[in-house]
Structure 1
Amino acid sequence: MSDAAIHPIRFILSDVDGTLLHPDHSLGQRTADAVRALREAGVLFSLASGRPPRAMRHLIETFDIDIPLAAFNGGTLFNPDGSILVAHYLPADAALVTLALFSAEPDVEVWVFADGDWLRRDAPGPMEPREAHGLGYGPRVVESFEPFLDRVDKIVAASNNAQLLVQLEAQLQPRVHGLAQVSRSQPVYLDVTAMLANKGEALKTLAAHLGVALEQTVAIGDGGNDPAMFEVAGLSIAMGQAEEAVKRRANVVTGSNIEEGAAEAFERFILAGR
């Protein structure tokens, strides 16, 4: 008897950018159809993203999601109506260390997410239009991040210099060890969140909330923040364009997001058996 027969898949937690969406943030028809087929087959489907809840509203409508979702890499779990289930904030001392390191780099745009807003302090940089396009709204300019330090959801270092972000990740990890999660959600974004703000904890919490055993869950993603949920899911799927370090931590690898790899995986590993 196959594992699928012993532990039929009941819940899928999917990354968004680089997984369900094309590089231009559009949704392919094949992926939309596959998610619809999952729902019709009775499989629970939700999203885990580095995005804030506000930037996931249209996705809730697009995928007709009626169960809780995970924003800020799992830092905030919220219902489709926007009400918060769980919120994990970055400790203020970790925020200060992070901001000091990121702000010293002229090639890095520093963004803070707090109070439902995307905040920036410095002049706009080349990464801002990309983020605004993805989120569907722009940042609020503030003179200082200090008034928000006790309720920071996420700090982001954004840069087209991907190698610089790799170096910053390595420098920051030991400085905030035990206080914060540091991961590259995409090659050009380095995210810093609370320790419990990770997709693995999100998957465990959401599965328990839904009454689903972890053996009956699937996690799919492409970024450095996705292996946390790979480690706890019954089946983990990495996208084809993911970095090798991410692929190695998944059970299987599918096609890239350009190739509608998420749809391919849903069709092959879940829908084919129903």
Structure 2
Amino acid sequence: MSALLLGVTVLFLHFSEGARACMTLQTRPGHSNRPDPAAHIKLVVSDMDGTLLTPQKQVTHHTLNAITALRHAGVPVCLVSSRPASGIEMYLEALKLDTPYGALNGGSIFNPDRSLRSQLTLPTDIVQEALGLLQGHNIDAWLFRGHEWVITNAASPYVEPESRAIKQTPNIVPSFKTMLAGVGKITASSSNYDAITQQEAEIGALLKGRACVAQSAPFYLDITPLNANKGYALHQLADFYGIAPHEVACLGDMNNDLPMFKAAGMAIAMGQATQTVKDQAHFVTAANTAEGWSKAVTEYILPRAAKAD
């Protein structure tokens, strides 16, 4: 059965012992050559879409229980997402989280009271250059400026589902000409997954050393300020709690999660993650369709949380 809690669907799932056994078999070590995972975990930083949430953007009962178990163990959970702030805040009450969080791939950090803690923006020349490159390949672009989402093509196939997902209506403008300042993120969207992957490589090479370019979904490419990535966010969130980054466990599934994988003491990839992400993880858990998040917490994080000071 399912329950609707403050506009966020919380899905209650029940698994047989056989299903639980299958889930266990899907959890395995990653293939990274990085140092061993941290022995003590004091903070969890998690991606949302493809990680904490199911493909239907739901939070399962097992995930809620895992968050409660972490809370009882004294381990806060912080969310970092490519979503704008509104797309994160809509879940906080349902998840019973009163912790800081990072929006726009970590470029905007918010305090528990939802006030802005820090923000990074793209230089206007980079915004112009990126928009020109995307336009040249007929790929739709969106701008995120503070709490504002700006688009030029309302007919884009991903506008409506994104609006539903983040509970926000975009500002439709005829041109981005007067919108170049204060941009925290450019998102390219296309149903041509190969084109998005190609642009990740091409734009990433052109803007190397000037901006961060990474896919946040097979159909989304995010361009953010050079230091505005989830690794930066992880450092900011760890600093909020006065702990070291190597005492943080993180969970993710896409290439834009790699900076926090590099920064964290323990990196856990979802079962459906890209191979690149799996290769950089300490552990690979089950997919987000099979309780991978709660399983990772139970098997890898809580045993180390119990050892934390």
TM-score, length of structure 2 as denominator length:
0.84
The match for 2:86 is 54
Q: CA RMSD in A?
A: 1.5
1:192 to 223, 245, 248: 223
Alignment deviations for residues 232-274 of structure 1 (CA, whole Å, 9 cap, x no partner): 1010000000110111011110000001101100011122454
The match for 2:125 is 93
2:188 partner letter? A
**Do the aligned residues in 1 keep the contact of 2:83 with 2:104 (CA within 8 Å)?**
yes
| Superposed displacement of residue 143, structure 1 | 2.1
The match for 2:67 is 35
Quick check: 1:180 aligned with 2:211? yes
1:206 to 199, 217, 237: 237
2:53 to 5, 21, 25: 21
**Do the aligned residues in 1 keep the contact of 2:187 with 2:220 (CA within 8 Å)?**
yes
Quick check: 1:103 aligned with 2:135? yes
| Superposed displacement of residue 7, structure 1 | 4.0
| Superposed displacement of residue 153, structure 1 | 0.9
| Superposed displacement of residue 222, structure 1 | 0.4
Cα distance between partner residues in 2 of 1:161 and 1:232? 31
% same residue = 38
Runs (5+) with no aligned partner, structure 2: 1-35
1:120 to 151, 154, 168: 151
Cα distance between partner residues in 1 of 2:112 and 2:172? 28
**Do the aligned residues in 2 keep the contact of 1:60 with 1:80 (CA within 8 Å)?**
no
**Do the aligned residues in 1 keep the contact of 2:46 with 2:251 (CA within 8 Å)?**
yes
1:218 to 231, 246, 249: 249
Cα distance between partner residues in 1 of 2:231 and 2:298? 24
Which segment drifts farther, 228-237 or 168-177? Answer: 168-177
**Do the aligned residues in 2 keep the contact of 1:47 with 1:69 (CA within 8 Å)?**
yes
Alignment length (residue pairs): 270
The match for 2:15 is none
RCO higher in structure (CA 8 A, sep ≥6): 2
Alignment deviations for residues 168-202 of structure 1 (CA, whole Å, 9 cap, x no partner): 11111122122110000111100000011000111
**Do the aligned residues in 1 keep the contact of 2:245 with 2:263 (CA within 8 Å)?**
yes
Local SS of the residue matching 2:142: strand
1:39 partner letter? R
Alignment deviations for residues 80-108 of structure 1 (CA, whole Å, 9 cap, x no partner): 322111100011111111101112233x3
**Do the aligned residues in 2 keep the contact of 1:11 with 1:218 (CA within 8 Å)?**
yes
Runs (5+) with no aligned partner, structure 1: none
